[in-house]
Amino acid sequence: MAKASPPNVFKAYLEQFQKDFSLFLRLRSEEIIQGGRVVLTFIGRSIDDPRSKDCCLYWELLAKSLLDLAAKGLVVEADIHTFNLPYYNPYEGEVREIIKMEGSFDIDKLETFSINWDANDDISNKDFVFEKDQCGRNVANIVRAVAEPMLVSHFGDDIIDELFKRYAEYVGNDFNTVFKSLPFFCEKFGKEKRDLCGQHYFITGVPGSFYHRLFPSKSLHFFHSSYSLHWLSKVPEGISNNKGNIYMAKASPPDVFKAYLEQFQKDFSLFLSLRSEEIIQGGSVVLTFIGRSIDDPRSKDCCLYWDLLAKSLLDLAAKVKTDIDTFNLPYYNPYEGEVREIIEMEGSFDIDKLETFAINWDANDDISNKDFVFEKDQCGRNVANIVRAVAEPMLVSHFGDDIMDELFKRYAEYVGEYLCVEKTKHINIVLTMTKKVKSE
Ligand SMILES: C[S@@+](CC[C@H](N)C(=O)[O-])C[C@H]1O[C@@H](n2cnc3c(N)ncnc32)[C@H](O)[C@@H]1O
């Protein structure tokens, strides 16, 4: 909305806000207990007239900047006409009216307060000196942080630096990837299960490690971890003598095996005690992670997978910037007896069932895949791709990324050759547990 916008634009924005805010109130009213409380803070305007400075100026200046770029031929002017922000800063009277109309909540208090566009220009900041260019940049940075994705999706990203006279690298991360995949997941799941995302289940993201608290006390009925608990919280200490290896290996000194086991005992025990705080009495846990089939950690189950990677690294020793001897994986694939013992010692859970099952290193080589034909090079590459997906970030941060292509090419060859001799398998442990009922 801008001073010069036609009247129907103001009407359309207000109506959209009425619909959205009303829906928001209704959805929250389903979720909040009777007598429960709500506190909301959002941007509004100080007077009823949406043509006021409060309402429009912030974005009018951005529109003006875009028009400047159009004048320079960097933006197509017609594109500016089709771009509008999904944003509304209401007058308090509008907010009151919607809350009243929707009917689920009583307003206890509604106040407005103002902060300067440049938040550094604050009474508590005694050092603040107004400096036109710096203050302009401060405000532009805030607007950029908020509006950049919308602008990029409409105008492309070539113009963004120019538009804000600023640059900041947009970095995608694990969480972004997971969240970006959710709409696809919801659509697929919705079709298969005739269920709509958000109607029968809710997806939430909790940042943090499972070696720290993740959820409020006694808030979970069920906890599941899939294929993750073989990752330790850190590389065990005191294994600098594990020369030429990157994990426990047949030739590792005995104290390396001891250090790995002790780290797993500490980590898994901590995991159990943290989850036991979060899970209600009688709540259930299902865990799946990689293990080994026999007690002896020198067994093939345990070491071979990573032994072949160490061998590939040693082949490239001349090209490797950093010492292989100082690289070890924060990983442990326990024997089921070790897992049982830790659960018993920690004492919060009863094991209901613990089973192991095997899957081939090359997961395509599966009984359900009738078309599978063993082909040494292809199978080697399949396995190498999986290991690369898992281990590459750790390897890159130690060895740099120059050697990665060659490293995994060699690894694929070693794996392919080995698979000709023997079909190798990962051993997986799956277990269910129940939180013990304790008198408090
Ligand atoms: C092989 S993936 C499994 C992903 C997924 N759970 C599945 O079953 O398809 C292992 C995952 O464990 C996560 N992970 C490893 N250590 C973790 C920790 N301490 N806390 C939380 N997640 C961890 C990694 O980020 C990775 O996403």
Domains along the chain with CATH numbers: 7-183 (no CATH), 208-435 (1.10.1200.270)
100-103: Cβ within 8 A, 24+ apart: 101/22, 102/21, 102/22, 102/25, 102/26, 102/29
| Distance from the alpha carbon of residue 214 to the mean position of ligand 1, in angstroms | 14
Place of tokens 């292989």: 324
173-178-182 Cα angle (round to 5)? 145
* Ligand 1 within 6 A of CB of 289: no
* Ligand 1 within 6 A of CB of 181: no
| Distance from the alpha carbon of residue 145 to the mean position of ligand 1, in angstroms | 29
- The pLDDT assigned to 168 comes to 26
- The pLDDT assigned to 164 comes to 65
Bridge-based pairing state of the strands 279-291 and 220-226: parallel
pLDDT at 166 exceeding the cut of 60: no
pLDDT at 345 exceeding the cut of 80: yes
Sign of the CA dihedral running 97, 98, 100, 106:
negative
pLDDT at 337 exceeding the cut of 50: yes
State which of 228, 230, 386 you would mutate to test the pocket of ligand 1, scoring each by most atoms of that ligand within 8 A of its C-beta: 228
Three-state DSSP class for 256? helix
| Distance from the alpha carbon of residue 173 to the mean position of ligand 1, in angstroms | 14
Q: Could you give the C-alpha distances from 8 to 1, 13, 79, in angstroms and in order? A: 10, 9, 20
pLDDT at 214 exceeding the cut of 50: yes
- The pLDDT assigned to 418 comes to 87
Bridge-based pairing state of the strands 425-435 and 279-291: antiparallel
Q: Could you give the C-alpha distances from 429 to 56, 279, 338, in angstroms and in order? A: 60, 22, 11
Q: Which of 9-23, 188-202, 327-341, 401-415 has the lowest mean pLDDT?
A: 188-202
| Distance from the alpha carbon of residue 123 to the mean position of ligand 1, in angstroms | 46
Ligand 1 atom nearest residue 225's Cα = 6
State which of 231, 278, 289 you would mutate to test the pocket of ligand 1, scoring each by most atoms of that ligand within 8 A of its C-beta: 231
CA Rg, the chain, in Å? 29
Ligand 1 atom nearest residue 390's Cα = 1
The pLDDT tens digits of the residues spanning 109-156 come to: 999 998 877 777 777 777 777 776 677 777 777 888 888 888 888 888
Q: Each residue of 263-292: b (16+ CB within 10 Å) or e?
A: bbbbbbbebbebbbebbeeebbbebbbbbb
> CB 382: neighbour CB atoms within 10 A?
20
Whole-prediction pTM value?
A: 0.67
pLDDT at 44 exceeding the cut of 80: yes
| Distance from the alpha carbon of residue 228 to the mean position of ligand 1, in angstroms | 4
Mean of pLDDT over the chain: 86
- The pLDDT assigned to 34 comes to 93
* Ligand 1 within 6 A of CB of 386: no
| Distance from the alpha carbon of residue 29 to the mean position of ligand 1, in angstroms | 35
* Ligand 1 within 6 A of CB of 226: yes
The pLDDT tens digits of the residues spanning 176-186 come to: 667 777 777 77
Paired strand residues for 35: none
**Element (H or E) spanning 290, and its range?**
strand 279-291
Q: Each residue of 65-88: b (16+ CB within 10 Å) or e?
A: bbeebbeeeebeeeebeeebeeeb
- Structure tokens that stand for 273 in this block: 């005690």
pLDDT at 172 exceeding the cut of 90: no
* Ligand 1 within 6 A of CB of 428: no
* Ligand 1 within 6 A of CB of 210: yes
> In this structure, which amino acid lies at residue 296?
D
pLDDT at 342 exceeding the cut of 90: yes
Alpha helix stretches (DSSP H) within 123-225: 132-155, 160-164, 174-193
| Distance from the alpha carbon of residue 296 to the mean position of ligand 1, in angstroms | 26
- The pLDDT assigned to 247 comes to 94
- The pLDDT assigned to 414 comes to 93
Position with higher pLDDT, 236 vs 324: 236
> What are the residues whose beta carbons fall under 8 Å from the beta carbon of 370, sequence distance 6 or more?
none
The stretch 48-61 carries a mean pLDDT of: 79
In which region does residue 280 sit, left (phi positive, over 0), alpha (psi from -120 to 50) or beta (all else)? beta
Place of tokens 């590939």: 312
The stretch 290-300 carries a mean pLDDT of: 89
| Distance from the alpha carbon of residue 13 to the mean position of ligand 1, in angstroms | 43
> CB 310: neighbour CB atoms within 10 A?
21
Rounded Cα distance between 157 and 149, Å, is 9
The stretch 8-30 carries a mean pLDDT of: 97
Ligand 1 atom nearest residue 288's Cα = 8
* Ligand 1 within 6 A of CB of 211: yes
Of all residues in the chain, what percent carry a pLDDT higher than 70?
91
* Ligand 1 within 6 A of CB of 327: no
Rounded Cα distance between 271 and 17, Å, is 45
Three-state DSSP class for 220? strand
| Distance from the alpha carbon of residue 206 to the mean position of ligand 1, in angstroms | 13
